Chains A and B, each alone.
Chain A
Amino acid sequence: MKLESKVPAGGLSQKWTNHKFNLKLVNPANKRKYDVIVVGTGLAGASAAASLAELGYNVKIFCFQDSPRRAHSIAAQGGINASKNYPNDGDSTYRLFYDTIKGGDYRSREANVYRLAEVSNNIIDQCVAQGVPFAREYGGLLDNRSFGGAQVSRTFYARGETGQQLLLGAYSALMRQVGLKQVQMFTRREMLDVVLIDGKARGIVVRNLINGDVESYAADAVLLCTGGYGNVFYLSTNAKGSNGTAVWRAYKKGAFFGNPCFTQIHPTCIPVSGSYQSKLTLMSESLRNDGRIWVPKNPGDKRAPGQIPEEERDYFLERKYPSFGNLVPRDVASRNAKEMVDADKGVGSTGVAVYLDFNDAIKRLGRDKIEEKYGNLFEMYELITAEDPYHVPMRIYPASHYTMGGLWVDYNLMTTVPGLFALGECNFSDHGANRLGASALMQGLADGYFVIPYTLGGYLAEMKKEKVSTDHPAFKECEENIKQNVRKLLSVKGKRTVDDFHRELGNIMWNFVGMSRSENGLKTAVEKIRTLREEFWNDVYIPGSNEELNQSLEKAGRVADFLELGELMAEDALQRRESCGGHFREESQTEENEAKRDDENFAFVAAWEYKGQNVKPELHKEQLVFENVQPSQRSYK
């Protein structure tokens, strides 16, 4: 199979315009004859479903939570980017495009990223029209802030709850269509398979999480909007339910997986406090604007922070990166924190943390100013740790946060399975090897509001319309497989709990497929994951039955998939013998121990094709062509 990115011809700024014109249209009166399934109600899913329903398509939408409003997008804090240039500080579509390509360390497609920048402004307009109460200036116009080291202020925000407000906007648009009966909503359903008929995606099979019923739904196209797989690390900033099952099952049905090893580790999270730890809370990166990161100079120094004199502290980021200091990019900050902990300089009772100290900032600006800027974050920190950051330095440590990898899609957001699309965090597009702050929300909404309404039409207009029903043998076969899988899980009746396995997998991933990766480590990871997977299928214990609400069973299915996905991540990291973006290969460093990218050999998207259980997947390469930007090595010294 040949990978076709379907990037339209023409100049960068004309591609999307031309493409929209060239795409075939579905006649307005015919739209109601098409059924579309959307899996996921986060920013990507809710915006897509609402927009498609407004156009007249019949939409069915699914989520595993009890309400569409609870999708993980709700938790995003910082903001959403757009190139409005309201502050008059030199932003433009081209600059946002350029920053995103560069931020992704030249591992994304120019045309996709340009389109993203191009529609970014429409998103803000749309959200405001829906009633999203973005922050404003006294004059009544929208306020912007600079985020994640960007040199222009292009981030729109609503306090620390931007994701919530954006999702509530998309959710209200979705619920309006539910009220109009143009969308049918299915909550507490978990998609467990995509159904292919004549090689095309024609429906899904889900498990009803309340009573265990296996249900089939047919459609003319299926959109996966199921979020990221950061929870493969067990501990992450993602919601507990976030998982990779939908994309993994799609992968097994023939959708290629793009750049699975590209994950983002966020440096400022509240560290682990004990073995019972269930998730890690992100604290806004803005803290690094005023906080100073340090550890004791001497390994094993267990004194309280106040007792460590100035000359015995190592402000390691300031020391190593004098021009960027504490504001180095996420991956550099994360990796350096880990290095300190590995050198036994970690702080706090677990020794797995570094200090983020506001003492100097408070002296310089006064407590009031700090309170005004970070009051909420300080409160949140104190709520969780019972320590007062105005007096004791915060303890922070990196955590898994976002997955740039995901299902490979072409310019139309279609996977390698015709009729199966992927939107939002669950696709691989746009962010390359690293994502800029405030760009995930932008991408989810771009995909849902402004890309898929066009590209889906193009697909449907060209496909031969044939009705299928869920009585088709392909549905029956999927249903049977799912039931069998559930029976298999329940019948292991071993001794270890699902969480126990998940925790162990997370450890392997964190240690060998985390911030810093090496040939040996990755090979070890593959071995360890295989062994663990075998153990899982021999020794997992899942209480209860299928025919009830069974949270252990839900988790078991997700962990079983993570145990396979984790291996693919390691394989992908293994083949990518370069450092780029969030992926740091120890073998590929500069003399100053910084990441070294290898454009000659690795300027491609790795797209993996499933070849069968326990068979090595096949690697396909989509070569990346840079016609408009000149890849440059990053330097933060």
Chain B
Amino acid sequence: MAKNMNLKLKVWRQKNKEDKGRFQIYDATNVSPDMSFLEMIDVVNEELIKKGEDPIAIDHDCREGICGSCGVYINGRPHGPLREITTCQLYMRHFHDGQTIVIEPWRAAAFPVIKDLIVDRSAFDRIIAAGGFISVNTGGAPDANAIPITKDDQEWSLDAAECIGCGACVAACKNASAMLFVSAKASHLVRLPQGKIERERRALAMVAQMEKEGFGSCTNTEACSAECPKGISMDAIAQLRREYFKANFKVRK
């Protein structure tokens, strides 16, 4: 069985939105390789509390990679060194004894820090409120099998719909663009017959809100997709660009 490790944590501490924030060094001792990254933080926090210090604030909930709450920069990468997992799915066996781990919050103008590693991602909700839906009321839906959908379209749609809204794409992007997030939602819906009806309106409204929220523009560096814990592909962005272009064209006509 692998041995327990001693690590150094260099953690971003920031009391609130107004505070400037700074790095602080902590020891994480006797860390089992079978601990999850968040469990390691739990243990460090328990120690901090016992010493009368303020524990490190970090968002988390499901701890199984689906709610999108967790998400921090770990050694310069969103959600840490492994591909296609979230912070809560990272295990300490991927670090080695004596290593220093740098932990920071998402950095983006549209995601202000609330405390330590917790940021405000409500901009994402406002983008969805602007157009990330199909306008159907409860009650009037036709039979679920009334409109067949090819397996291909369904799978494609689901690939995009898997986005967990964690914000890693924004954090990974040097422009802090939200294109991958927005395009994932647009692609999810536009690939289904039900979602085609509002395609133009949706693309325009979501992109307009994205710009209003202060996200940067997309320059196709592909860092977002590389760091996405759900592996959402750049195809989504290409799709949204087409949607947006067509919609704009139509509106101007």
A residues apposed to B, CB below 8 Å: 47, 50-51, 54, 65-70, 72, 74-75, 84, 86, 121-122, 124-131, 133-142, 158-159, 161, 163-165, 168, 171-173, 175-176, 178-179, 185, 187, 210, 239-241, 273-274, 276-279, 281, 349, 383-386, 449-450, 453, 495, 497, 499-500, 541, 543-544, 548-549, 551-552
Contacts and interface: CB of A to CB of B under 8 A. Distances in A.
Contacts of B48: 543
A121 B140 CA distance: 13
B1 interface: yes
A67 B122 contact: yes
A449 B68 CA distance: 25
Given A158-B161, A276-B40, A383-B89, 18 more contacts: A50-B138, A72-B62, A72-B67, A74-B62, A74-B68, A127-B144, A133-B192, A137-B151, A164-B164, A172-B133, A173-B133, A173-B138, A175-B132, A274-B34, A276-B35, A276-B39, A278-B38, A495-B50
Nearest to B166: A70
Contact of B148 (A51, A139, A385, A495): A139
8 contacts: A66-B118, A66-B122, A129-B134, A130-B194, A136-B150, A164-B66, A164-B162, A500-B46
Nearest to B56: A551
Contacts of B235: none
A176 B134 CA distance: 8
Interface string B119-153: 01110110011111111111111111101111100
Nearest 7 pairs of A and B residues by beta carbon? A140-B148, A172-B133, A129-B141, A179-B129, A125-B141, A51-B138, A133-B158
Given A171-B128, A386-B91, A133 B121 contact: no
B188 A131 contact: yes
A84 B146 CA distance: 13
B57 A551 contact: yes
Contact of A543 (B49, B128, B134): B49
B29 interface: no
B183 interface: no
A172 B134 contact: yes
Contact of A128 (B16, B38, B144): B144
B246 interface: no
Contacts of B165: 67, 69
Contact of A176 (B64, B129, B150): B129
A450 B66 CA distance: 27
A497 B192 CA distance: 50
B54 A131 contact: no
A72 B138 CA distance: 22
Contacts, number: 218
B138 A449 contact: yes
Interface residues of B, number: 80
Interface of B: 1, 15-16, 32-36, 38-40, 42-43, 46, 48-50, 52-55, 57, 59-64, 66-69, 85, 89, 91, 93, 114-115, 118, 120-122, 124-125, 128-145, 147-151, 154-155, 157-158, 161-162, 164-165, 188-189, 192, 194-195
Contacts of A385: 34
Given A75-B62, A133-B161, A138-B151, A172 B128 contact: yes
Contacts of A130: 133-134, 136, 194
A67 to B, nearest CB: 5
A175 B135 CA distance: 11
Nearest to B1: A349
A136 B158 CA distance: 11
Contacts of B16: 548-549
A497 B144 contact: no
Contacts of A164: 66, 162, 164
B133 A176 contact: yes
Contacts of B114: 210, 549
Nearest to A51: B138
A497 B49 contact: yes
Nearest to B157: A133
B66 A453 contact: no
A141 B69 contact: no
B3 to A, nearest CB: 14
A279 B35 CA distance: 11
A50 B133 CA distance: 12
Contacts of A161: 66, 162
A497 B36 contact: no
Contact of A125 (B32, B144, B192): B144
B145 A66 contact: no
